[in-house]
A = this chain, B = another copy of it.
Amino acid sequence: MTSPRLLVLIACAAAPMLAADNPPGLLGFLPEHATAQVALEKKFDAQLNPADLRAWLQVMAAEPNHVGTPHDKANAELTLAKFQEWGWDAHIEVFDVLYPTPLTQKLELVAPVAFTAKLHEPEIAGDSTSAKTKGALPPYHAYGADGDVTAELVYVNRGMPDDYKELETHGVSVKGRIVIARYGGGWRGLKPKLAYEHGAIGCLIYSDPADDGYGAGDVYPKGGYRPADSVQRGSVADMPVYPGDPLTPGVGATKDAKRLPLSEAKTVLKIPVMPISYADAQPLLAALGGAVVPPAWRGGLPITYHIGPGPAKVHLAITSDWSLKPVYDVIATIKGGELPDAWVIRGNHRDGWVFGAWDPLSGHVAMMAEAKAIGALVKSGWKPKRTLVYCSWDGEEPGLLGSTEWAETHADELQKKAVLYLNSDTNTRGFLQVAGSHALQGFVNQVAGSVRDPEMKVSVLERLRASLLVEGSKASASASDRAIAKQLAAGQEVPIEALGSGSDFTPFLQHLGIGTLSIEFGGEDQQAGVYHSIYDSFDHYDRFGDPGYHYGIALAQTVGRVMLRMADADVLPVRETGFSDTVGHYLEEIHTLADNLRAGTEQKNKLIDANAFILASDPTETYVQPAKEGAVPFLNLAALDNAVLRLKQSAQACDDAGAQSLAAGLPLTGAQRAEIESLLQGMEQSLTDSTGLPGRDWFRHMIYAPGLLTGYGVKTLPGVREALEGRRWAEAEKYSVITGHTLDAYSDRLDKLSALLKPVPPKN
């Protein structure tokens, strides 16, 4: 291609996004290329067949496929064979990771009455694989410690930090005791970690029926929700410190990698922990005495919930096989014709906890459909400008093992070449769900405006917009939902969420600083019910997940457009004010947080001084009033304030320069174009700092991180926000400077882009 002319780095921000049938005007494309691109997408769509998805899902979910199983390897080989059949250059990459599996498990109530927990999910009529569990692991938590402990039980609600504050007011300590927490309220791995930090010697986590059992809807097999004996497995590795193989932080777990001894692996927990069903939990909870729980701690079992400690006393014993096991990543590429060293990467994991039909195979089969369709386009003569890389990850469930080890192994190359990492995972009927790098928000809006919702006669964007408008109009809407609805009503584009963790995007975004998107559909399903249980099966998904597989097709269409446009765009389709506006909102939240902390501390200390908490308490119940806290100083966040101010100006200038350049005919040389490509490729990496976040230097992104105390939930501007939340004022000021530096580096690149894009003044 010889044209020096290129197009539309930036479209008009206020213009409504293009609907499905509008004439092309694609972000990042010259008009003549845009027309071809839309035609290409039509050919791509024509290759997608829901029957493929169903057939692949049925085969891949036919047997247990967690790490180390024969079927996991067979699925890798099937995926490899399919990719190769479809014309991709594919191979399997193997890593050897620490992946403990249970050998023996025991849970019993030893006082005041005896009860032995079943710890088993029985066969369910109509669910064919529930009877075929040969090779499956029993319900367990990966990376909990081995142990044999007997102690009094304490109910800790969700087991999150505020719950321990509440326990303190009741004068209850978990020291030397075993805690029982219900799922929800924060990532499961934090529950045993916080329990351990508070002195507990064991931890049980159960699924309360109010959350995903009969309280939420009809249970399986009548409906899709969790039956009484079903258990949510899961990882409890301390992934907010670092994900991946606990023995090889920061480096790939290749055959010869240097490994930590197990005793030094920071992400392996120190106490035994076990997931249980609500059938097993009820006798334990019913045996608790002590205070009746506060209203917010009540679950859906037909009992009065008590805190304890005791008289319930439980015996918990776990032994595990701590050997290394192999994970099999399938990596497939189609080399770009024009910019082969620019990689557009797509991934979805393949391993499940048992059969994994919903999680992750529903997303995986959509990814396979994309790969098949792209293969057909290639066979028909098309070739992408940039290189497409498709990845079938293994070992996501225990700790993002396959993706993290691959990203760590290929870190340098990825930081030089990757222009996008696009992830999906469980995909079901419902609404578009997008999160990721906000410079891509406008692009995602345009793509989503061109995909038709399978159930409604509008685009998936319009359906999402409608649902956000309705959510924000409800009397029960959160302040944030109201704000979004207000923005949408004012004609602004649909916002995308920020990414925390919980799937394979984490090493790409937060360790390597690669621009990232997560795209899935969901919200009309009954997934929660079988999440990480043996009933996450083909039969269940086929009835409740996405009957007809139309949303699998919608995912392939949406992701396919993103991949194809990123691959073929004349210039990468970013809109920088999407990022700067969003960071501006985050900064406002930081200031509000500091102000609220200050006012709240003052109010609380005054109440303590006035003895108000004691006077308001019931003297017949134990009540320990909270301790006074130090006043919240006014903080110097000027570095961050100034950096955000500059960012907004630079982003606006860059967007404006793009628009002006377009109007002037985009007179750029090939060298200038290459420089623009290079500047955009490394853009997101400016947001990382090698210092990393406090106590977890693996996490280098200064805008998005999983919360150290939320696990999956995102913390934006995390260095500053978490310091404030933890009342570490000096740390907040330090990270204001560090975060400001990353934003300044980002602005430097924006300014360079602006200079390159600024039309040359006419010669007189």
Chain A interfacial positions (CB closer than 8 Å to B): 209-210, 214-219, 223, 225, 292, 296, 298, 300-304, 430, 455-456, 458, 462-463, 465-467, 469-471, 473, 476, 489, 524, 600, 603-604, 606-607, 610-616, 618-620
Contact = CB atoms under 8 A, between A and B. Distances in A.
B489 A606 contact: yes
Nearest to A306: B218
Contacts of A466: 607, 610-616
Contact of A618 (B524, B603, B614): B524
A469 B304 contact: no
Contacts of A603: 473, 489
A462 B210 CA distance: 39
A133 to B, nearest CB: 26
A612 B304 contact: no
A218 B292 contact: yes
10 contacts: A215-B298, A219-B304, A225-B304, A301-B302, A458-B615, A465-B612, A466-B610, A470-B607, A473-B603, A524-B620
A466 B603 CA distance: 13
Contact of A304 (B218, B604, B613): B218
Contact of A607 (B214, B469, B612): B469
B467 A304 contact: no
A629 to B, nearest CB: 14
A302 B214 contact: yes
A85 to B, nearest CB: 35
Contacts of A298: 210, 215
Question: Which of A463, A466, A489 has the most CB atoms of chain B within a 10 A radius of its CB?
Answer: A466
Nearest to A463: B615
Given A300-B300, A455-B619, A466-B610, 8 more contacts: A214-B304, A215-B304, A217-B292, A302-B302, A456-B619, A463-B615, A469-B612, A489-B606
Question: Which of A215, A296, A613 has the most CB atoms of chain B within a 10 A radius of its CB?
Answer: A215
Nearest to A547: B620
A243 to B, nearest CB: 31
Nearest to A278: B302
A607 B303 CA distance: 42
A223 B304 contact: yes
Contacts of A600: 473
A408 B603 CA distance: 50
A546 to B, nearest CB: 12
Contacts of A619: 455-456
A286 B513 CA distance: 53
A113 to B, nearest CB: 16
Nearest to A525: B618
Given A473-B604, A604-B473, A467 B615 contact: yes
A455 B606 CA distance: 22
**What 8 A-B pairs have minimum CB-CB distances, sorted nearest first?**
A466-B615, A466-B612, A467-B616, A470-B616, A302-B302, A214-B304, A455-B619, A524-B618
Contacts of A607: 466, 469-470, 473
A211 to B, nearest CB: 11
A561 to B, nearest CB: 21
A613 B470 CA distance: 6
Contacts of A476: 296
A600 B475 CA distance: 10
A482 to B, nearest CB: 11
A89 B27 CA distance: 93
Contacts of A296: 476
A428 B734 CA distance: 55
A530 to B, nearest CB: 15
Contacts of A216: 304
Contacts of A225: 304
A51 B223 CA distance: 58
B469 A610 contact: yes
B300 A302 contact: yes
A356 to B, nearest CB: 24
B616 A214 contact: no
A746 B463 CA distance: 56
Nearest to A604: B473
Nearest to A293: B217
A606 to B, nearest CB: 7
B473 A304 contact: no
B463 A303 contact: no
A196 B524 CA distance: 35
Question: Which of A218, A300, A302 has the most CB atoms of chain B within a 10 A radius of its CB?
Answer: A302
Contacts of A218: 292, 304
Nearest to A467: B616
A434 B209 CA distance: 40
A20 to B, nearest CB: 14
A616 B455 CA distance: 11
A160 to B, nearest CB: 14
A286 to B, nearest CB: 10
Contacts of A210: 298
Given A473-B607, A615-B456, A615-B462, A214 B467 contact: no
Contacts of A614: 456, 466
